[in-house]
Copies of this chain bind each other. A is one copy, B any other.
């Protein structure tokens, strides 16, 4: 499991508008106090609105890891960025990236990092010895897992917002990422989607280890067990997380599964049923406790109406954490541990 030193210097290179900056924006949004500045080369068309710094300035400002915050289609690293990353390593930085290509495969960069005793974190790839096999053994502490009706319906946002709401209520809670952006936000974890099938549940188990009896892990979800492409990752994650509580993420504006034209989105009731059945393989008490709905497709009045309808249909508290905050979701999780609900 990667353990990444913060704070970050966000590396944008000379990325043009064709590049995606989701990773940099996500990290800046969720941990702004852990981003000392941005590093840009001449011609860069992206601006995160934070201080431009070179490596020496950023190191002096406390920065410890250069984070590759942009990606082009294909997840390839431009050759002419490598000398700059080598300079970063020589200035004392670790480097972290969530690309398909591995920093550790770039011979010159790797040699420089080894010489300086620095670490290159490829968070899409497993690090830390042999991958573990799942056992299903009951672990101490509590776990909430975000599940959903599809990919990209707001699971990461929901997990982060619920984690924040729990912490604000004074609950001892940890956000557990399962994708590259989440891992870079938290500085801990590993993207699950590149793990071989035999080891997915084992890596998921390792991600939320034994903890204090009152501690909550809030675990980012992936896809859905009803997904024709990605369900293998989901079920390994559901089994390995052994959640006490699940929150179902849903996008009000979506009728077909993303990237699968003609494929009808699973219903919320089918999604709840399928995930409860999967989770009960390792925890007979597992249940879905709330619905997190992305209502951005409609105005606020229509959103309230839709949420009321979803509450009626599912019997579960429902809200849009972006529009109305995550308190209702955090409360639903904590309620699962009330004696009358056990």
Q: A residues within 8 Å of B by Cβ?
A: 133-136, 192-198, 200-202, 225-226, 228-233, 235-236, 239, 260, 263, 274, 277-278, 281-282
Contacts and interface: CB of A to CB of B under 8 A. Distances in A.
B260 A135 contact: yes
Contact of A233 (B198, B228, B281): B198
Given A194-B196, A196-B194, A197-B197, A232 B232 contact: yes
Contacts of A260: 135-136
Contacts of A225: 235
Contact of A228 (B135, B196, B198, B229): B135
Nearest to A194: B196
Given A197-B195, A198-B194, A236 B226 contact: no
A232 B136 contact: no
Contacts of A278: 231
Contacts of A226: 281
A134 B234 CA distance: 14
Q: How many copies does the complex hold?
A: 2
A156 to B, nearest CB: 17
A240 to B, nearest CB: 8
B200 A232 contact: yes
A195 to B, nearest CB: 6
Nearest to A236: B232
7 contacts: A193-B198, A197-B233, A198-B233, A228-B239, A228-B281, A228-B282, A232-B235
A209 to B, nearest CB: 16
Question: In the complex, which of the residues A230, A232, A235 has the most CB atoms of chain B within 10 Å of its own CB atom?
Answer: A232
Contacts of A194: 196-198
A230 B133 CA distance: 8
A235 B230 CA distance: 10
Question: In the complex, which of the residues A192, A229, A230 has the most CB atoms of chain B within 10 Å of its own CB atom?
Answer: A229
Contact of A229 (B133, B195, B232, B277): B133
A136 B229 contact: yes
B197 A230 contact: yes
Contacts of A236: 197, 231-232
Given A260-B136, A263-B136, A281 B193 contact: no
| Smallest CB-CB A-B distances: 5 pairs | A136-B228, A232-B236, A197-B233, A232-B232, A200-B232
Contacts of A136: 228-229, 260, 263
A198 B178 CA distance: 13
A196 B233 CA distance: 9
Contact of A274 (B198, B231, B277): B277
Contacts of A135: 228-229, 260
